[in-house]
Structure 1
Amino acid sequence: MEPALQSTYGSKSRNLLMIAVISGLGGVLSTYIGYIGNLLNRLVGVPFGAGQFISGLHIYWLLMVACLTGKPGAATAAGLLKGLVEFFTGSTHGIAIIVVGLIQGFVIDLVLFIKIKKNREYPLLTLAIAGGLGAVSNVLVFQLLYFSGASPVYIGIICSAALISGVIFGGYLTHQSLSLLSSMRPGRYSEHQESSPRRKKSIFSRASLVLTVVFFLAFVAGVGYYFKNIYELPWQGITLKVEGRVEQPMEVSLKGYADQMVAIRSELIGKVTTIPEQEYIGVPVRVFLEEARPMPGTKEFKVVATDGYEVTFELEKVLQDDRMLIVEELGNETTLRLVAANYEGGYWVRKVSRFVVR
């Protein structure tokens, strides 16, 4: 093989490997980012939207691929692959996440392509614009696919949150990461950095690099905790675990409770989203608890979803509630949903995996 051809072949292989590894890693870690988003939603007290404050972490992987390969279309390819990985690792958004990833990558490629027409560098401003717009596209696509009924003002607020997050966790973090790589291997990534000594001194300061390293260390620690203690494989089947301070821990399927199913009519009324009244058929939650037999002195009942989202109820009230059901919810995949007719929408948990009594 001629040296020139060999070099070209090696470069293409390296770029393809880089796209596969980085986007694959981003896809797997997106479940953890989604978990953090759910925690923020609970903290703020809304069913969705607050998680957009960290949505830039979804964009980070696509920007890294685009910058490290320097090839038009790399972010789009990475977005598609990242979406596929998220889908197969149990994203709560189903197949729509593939479309979202593809569009995010395309937006990033579009912004970088416009800049590349002038020069081959990726300055902070360009990365910030690409990251911000890529993150905002996430909100807009989901609104087009699943109109939530949220007010334009609320959509504007979460779009602003996504924009800020994309600028910080997408653009700025990518810029800092490239600087860190450059400091570790001088010259290798210089084509992606600006040449101004003054800008290098202000942006790529030692303190900023240290903060970047600390952030990644904290992120890795959180990832380790999440996958060890919270994450559940999506292909384990639609079973429900009842655990904690119970005399008879269980792992059950709704099929074994067909004769105890009841039907109720209820309307989901949330702080942002409302679903009109309809019929739900499922098994009362108290049936599982009575069979598991909570130990004396237990007061709390927690419902946990596969993505880590959780809500807590008073155990005594649940044991007397005939309008709290577990139902099978059909979609891209069959999952379990908690229908809490006597509670507001934030307590209607999707993709339920565990009941914890404590």
Structure 2
Amino acid sequence: MTSLNDLPLRDTLVGKLPYGAPQDPVPVSLNVNENTHPIPDEVVDDIVRALAEAVRGVNRYPDREFLELRAALAGYLGHGLTPEQVWAANGSNEVLQQILQAFGGPGRSLLSFTPTYSMYPLLADGTDTTWIPVARPDGYALTPEGVAAALREHQPSVAILCGPNNPTGTVLDREVILAAYDAFDGILVVDEAYQEFDAETETAIALLPGRPRLLVSRTMSKAFAFAGVRVGYLAADPAVVDALRLVRLPYHLSALTQAAATAAIRHADTMLSTVADIRAQRDRLETALTELGYAVHPSGANFLLVDGFANPDATFSALRAQGILIRNLGIDGHLRITAGTEAETTTLIDAVAALGPGGAR
């Protein structure tokens, strides 16, 4: 049987592994930061009607520029954005990939501060962009001085600041973004996949005027409970959108995707009604785990990074055997847990408590 080693793979991909998080059909799945609340019935009905109408025209290609969806996204984001400042693709991963296709590539580099989203280096590999990881300080919170120093030293082509950061949940201060933008001449991406769960920090979209190299990436997967639809989007200067149009595939957003996303945005308030409950379950989980003796990192997202597990691998396996799936990221002593529904959170708390101090050995 042919293996990867038998193929003329690009040198930059040799020995690499694809993205992979377990997808077990377990009763309590809290490992990939999905919104565990289902879409409300009235929104489902409107989306189904929109899809039925769209299906009638799928013998033709969809709107290549998806203008209706871009207008809807601009209205949702506010801050005076126009459709010309908004872009979308099949998940924010594709948005980020298109950014690297346009502004990265051979002889260019991508910098971010680790630990952070595991797709960043994979996207760099896939576009032949050199990956530059810079370790976060203790506690994981970035400082303007530290970020600016790293960017001045490495002068990357593209830098990504994730806020709230995945997997740590750390919020991203406005001063860090401003310091980063002024420290180098490349493209600065602020990845706001979890922004809706952060009730305290203003979106970086407010910083866009006068900063043409600042890009703000978002997703409908998390707060909008749209992970299975695959819609990510971006706000930026219109010139950046023009650059992404150079590298996108023709008709990259299907008519069905456009119809579903546009209908969902019509019901933004209803779609986002679960956010407060998810925050409450996140805070409840933090309190319970702290009382059990674990150290929980502050989080502005819909998940927690938890320290204090004597054997993360054993705890992960013990919970998985009980039908509870969380995320083992290979960080010493740590596991990441998504905030679920009230029932899911209760099940998780009871299971961790039953394992005893420090979790399974």
Q: TM-score, structure 2 length as denominator?
A: 0.26
From the two aligned structures, give the one with the greater helix fraction: 1
Higher relative contact order (CA 8 A, sep 6+): 2
Larger radius of gyration: 1
Q: TM-score, structure 1 length as denominator?
A: 0.26
